[in-house]
């Protein structure tokens, strides 16, 4: 599914992959985030995704004009998980509102693991 925005000139269609990529880039700007993790981690092994695969750690679902973004993340060991997760939620929501024009969105954070120190 795609996000559709309308104005007086017509409509703008934004693919879920674009929303996912923008959300991932916004999240990566937040302190304490090491990176994205693949979804559905099994047996406690979180696979850290490189910057070229950010969107694989993000799921975007658009239903009833609400955009739901699920981020699967790996945090730096020693950070306050709740505080970092809230910062990521706020940053992603703000970025999607300001840069994409998505006004109604829900951001969900799924912490898949922690790592010592930042990579890359």
What is the model's pTM? 0.81
Model confidence pLDDT, tens digit, residues 17-26: 899 999 999 9
Dist CA 21 CA 54 (whole Å): 7
Is residue 52 in some structural domain? yes
Model confidence pLDDT, tens digit, residues 26-74: 999 999 998 888 776 554 445 554 555 566 789 999 888 889 999 999 9
Q: Which domain holds residue 72?
A: 2-115
How many domains are contained in the chain?
1
Is residue 28 in some structural domain? yes
Is residue 120 in some structural domain? no
The tokens describing 60, both together, are 């975007």
Burial class, 36, CB count within 10 angstroms (exposed 0-12 / middle 13-18 / buried 19+): buried
Helices 81-95 and 16-28 meet at what angle, rounded to 10? 130
């Amino acid at each position: 599914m795609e996000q559709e925005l309308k104005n007086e000139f017509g409509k703008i269609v934004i693919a879920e992959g674009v929303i996912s990529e923008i959300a991932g880039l916004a999240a990566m700007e937040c302190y304490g985030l090491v990176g994205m993790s693949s979804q559905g981690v099994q047996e406690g092994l979180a696979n850290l995704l490189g910057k070229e695969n950010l969107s694989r750690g993000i799921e975007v679902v658009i239903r009833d004009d609400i955009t739901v973004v699920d981020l699967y993340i790996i945090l730096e060991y020693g950070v306050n998980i709740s505080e970092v997760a809230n910062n990521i939620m706020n940053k992603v929501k703000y970025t999607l509102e300001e840069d994409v024009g998505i006004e109604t969105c829900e951001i969900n954070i799924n912490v898949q693991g922690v790592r010592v120190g930042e990579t890359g």
